[in-house]
């Protein structure tokens, strides 16, 4: 049992307990994707129908692939590239499977480059909350604060500064390694975020717009849903569960052998989905109470929540706590976005992890600069009417992650011998194992391909 852990243990370390893994994986999954991405994407794609497709994707595609990814990680015990290469070799498969790991490493770097910019907005709001700048906001000022002429997005300097702060913090923590860096950061903060969100959702339910907000979120109206919305819902499921790019594979590599993967995966997916839904329940009643636009885009959470805080006598305090937690949630996700590339470079170069993390952090920071300038200096540089940040988000979330997930599902479903698979997947009943196997073999890949084909217009069922 111990021997299989040696490579990961000696090079990168292992999680100390199952709980530590659950917290780290939940820390990876729960992030801006849940609280920033899910509500605004649901809002832009008509609400209930998007949410329903999203939930279907989590259950039929996301959870099975989550189990597959953790399984690969624990089998390979290395960075996603090395893990894929090792397992492919052991199973006598083509070495080209390592490319799935490589695409994942690249995808993590690209996601982090814009993720850090959005995380920078949370820092900017935190600073505003602390200095009292969010007190007494009304609707117009809340919108102008973010998107106005002198708003947060309009200032290239501030965008770049906060992006830099966030990247430095991320690199410093990743540089310290699995135990000291990642584990201690998530233990306290994830439960606090959950409590805060429950409180906000309860408050929102007391607002006059609660009924309309909930109807928007939970009543499917398929006439509002376009194929692009279906693709976005699938991409969002991948993004939110941190799937398809090796983050969870890398974390799975540090998972002790006796932990049951299926149960652990179900817990992580359950937490992640609950947090997204809670964020929706907190946000949409505010949208309808104040006559805001549910489809207004990436700024949604940054406009709605400060408005709600402004109504409360302890609003300043609440705003400080909330943005601190949102920032933390973003940070714990960022760590996992950077881990695959870091672990791979550690394996390849045998250089000091700390130096690697700083160097890599710098490269990701550079790649992120165009995203930091997307809504100001480079606001004219759009493609399909989308600013650069949205383009990188769309390419990675909607294309690269589902593609990575497709290959991971096919590899685990068809290319690993049954005995090897079952040996790793203890804790599954025979029935659930069979259901899972056919989900990764057929259902998930077919659904991904089907949604892709729909989107590029080769199939047209709508």
Token output for 132:
């009292």
d(CA 435, CA 260): 17
Q: How far is the CB of 329 from ligand PHE (least distance, A)?
A: 7
DSSP-assigned beta bridge partners for residue 386? 383
Q: How far is the CB of 31 from ligand PHE (least distance, A)?
A: 2
The number of C-alpha atoms within 13 Å of 54 and in the hemisphere containing its C-beta is 36
The number of C-alpha atoms within 13 Å of 88 and in the hemisphere containing its C-beta is 19
Site string for ligand PHE, 22-61 (x = CB under 6 A): ------xx-xxxx---------------------------
Q: What backbone torsions phi and psi does residue 257 show, to the nearest 5 degrees?
A: -65, -30
Cα-Cα-Cα-Cα dihedral sign, residues 386, 168, 345, 3:
negative
153 near ligand PHE, judged by CB under 6 A: no
**Based on CB atoms, which residue is closest to ligand PHE, 247 or 324?**
247
Q: How far is the CB of 32 from ligand PHE (least distance, A)?
A: 4
Q: How far is the CB of 55 from ligand PHE (least distance, A)?
A: 16
Site string for ligand PHE, 311-340 (x = CB under 6 A): ----------------------x--xx---
Q: How far is the CB of 335 from ligand PHE (least distance, A)?
A: 9
**Based on CB atoms, which residue is closest to ligand PHE, 279 or 410?**
279
**Based on CB atoms, which residue is closest to ligand PHE, 247 or 346?**
247
d(CA 63, CA 320): 34
Site for ligand PHE in 337-356 (CB under 6 A): 337
Of 137, 247, 255, 364, the residue at the interface with ligand PHE (CB under 6 A) is 247
Provide the 3-class DSSP secondary structure of residue 150. Answer: coil
Q: What backbone torsions phi and psi does residue 155 show, to the nearest 5 degrees?
A: -100, 105
**Based on CB atoms, which residue is closest to ligand PHE, 134 or 335?**
335
Q: How far is the CB of 29 from ligand PHE (least distance, A)?
A: 5
The residue sitting closest to ligand PHE, measured at its beta carbon, is: 33
How big is the site for ligand PHE, counted in residues (CB under 6 A)? 15
DSSP summary character for residue 314: T
Which of 249, 209, 186, 241 is CA-nearest to residue 411?
A: 249
Length of the chain: 462
Find the part of the chain contacting ligand PHE (CB under 6 A) among 149-157, 235-243, 315-323, 421-429. 235-243
DSSP summary character for residue 93: -
Which of 242, 257, 220 is CA-nearest to residue 426?
A: 257
- Per DSSP, the residues of 306-340 read HHHHHTSTTHHHHHHHHHHHHHHHHHHHHHHHHHH
Q: How far is the CB of 401 from ligand PHE (least distance, A)?
A: 7
**Based on CB atoms, which residue is closest to ligand PHE, 197 or 245?**
245
Give the Cβ contact number of residue 92 at 10 Å.
8
Site for ligand PHE in 97-126 (CB under 6 A): 111
Helix (H) or strand (E) holding 247: helix 247-252
Of 100, 186, 194, 245, the residue at the interface with ligand PHE (CB under 6 A) is 245
Interface ranges with ligand PHE (CB under 6 A): 28-29, 31-34, 111, 239-240, 242, 245, 247, 333, 336-337
């Amino acid at each position: 049992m111990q021997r299989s852990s040696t490579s990961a243990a000696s090079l990168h370390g292992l999680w100390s307990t199952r709980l530590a893994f659950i917290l780290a994986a939940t820390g990876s999954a729960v992030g801006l994707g849940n609280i920033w991405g899910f509500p605004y994407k649901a809002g832009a794609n008509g609400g209930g129908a998007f949410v329903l497709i999203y939930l279907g994707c989590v259950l039929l595609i996301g959870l099975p692939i989550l189990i597959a990814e953790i399984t690969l990680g624990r089998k390979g015990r290395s960075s996603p590239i090395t893990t894929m290469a090792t397992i492919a070799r052991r199973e006598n498969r083509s070495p080209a499977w390592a490319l799935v790991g490589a695409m994942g490493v690249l995808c993590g770097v690209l996601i982090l480059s814009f993720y850090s910019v959005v995380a920078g907005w949370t820092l900017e709001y935190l600073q505003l909350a602390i200095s009292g700048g969010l007190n007494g906001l009304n609707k117009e000022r809340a919108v102008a604060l973010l998107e106005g002429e002198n708003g947060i997005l309009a200032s290239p300097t501030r965008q770049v500064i906060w992006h830099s702060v966030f990247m430095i913090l991320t690199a410093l923590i990743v540089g310290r390694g699995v135990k000291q860096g990642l584990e201690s950061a998530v233990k306290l903060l994830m439960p606090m975020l959950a409590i805060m969100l429950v409180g906000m959702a309860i408050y929102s339910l007391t607002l006059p717009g609660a009924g309309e907000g909930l109807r928007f979120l939970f009543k499917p109206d398929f006439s509002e849903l376009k194929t692009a919305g279906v693709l976005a819902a699938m991409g969002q499921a991948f993004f939110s569960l941190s799937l398809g790019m090796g983050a969870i594979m890398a974390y799975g590599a540090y998972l002790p052998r006796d932990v049951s993967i299926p149960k652990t995966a179900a817990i992580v997916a359950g937490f992640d989905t609950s947090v997204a839904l809670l964020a929706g329940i907190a946000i949409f009643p505010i949208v309808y109470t104040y006559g805001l636009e549910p489809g207004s885009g990436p700024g949604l959470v940054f406009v709605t929540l400060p408005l709600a805080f402004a109504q409360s006598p302890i609003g300043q305090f609440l705003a400080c706590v909330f943005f601190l937690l949102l920032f933390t949630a973003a940070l714990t996700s960022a760590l996992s976005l950077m881990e695959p590339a870091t672990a791979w470079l550690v394996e390849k170069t045998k250089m000091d992890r700390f130096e690697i993390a700083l160097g890599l952090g710098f490269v990701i920071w550079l790649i992120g600069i165009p995203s930091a300038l997307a809504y100001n200096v480079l606001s004219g540089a759009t493609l399909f009417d989308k600013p650069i940040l949205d383009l990188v988000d769309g390419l990675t979330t909607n294309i690269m992650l589902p593609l990575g997930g497709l290959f991971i599902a096919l590899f685990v479903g068809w290319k690993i011998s049954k005995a090897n698979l079952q040996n790793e997947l203890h804790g599954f009943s025979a029935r659930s194992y069979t259901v899972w196997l056919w989900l990764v073999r057929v259902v998930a890949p077919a659904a991904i391909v089907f949604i892709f084909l729909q989107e590029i217009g080769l199939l047209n069922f709508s």
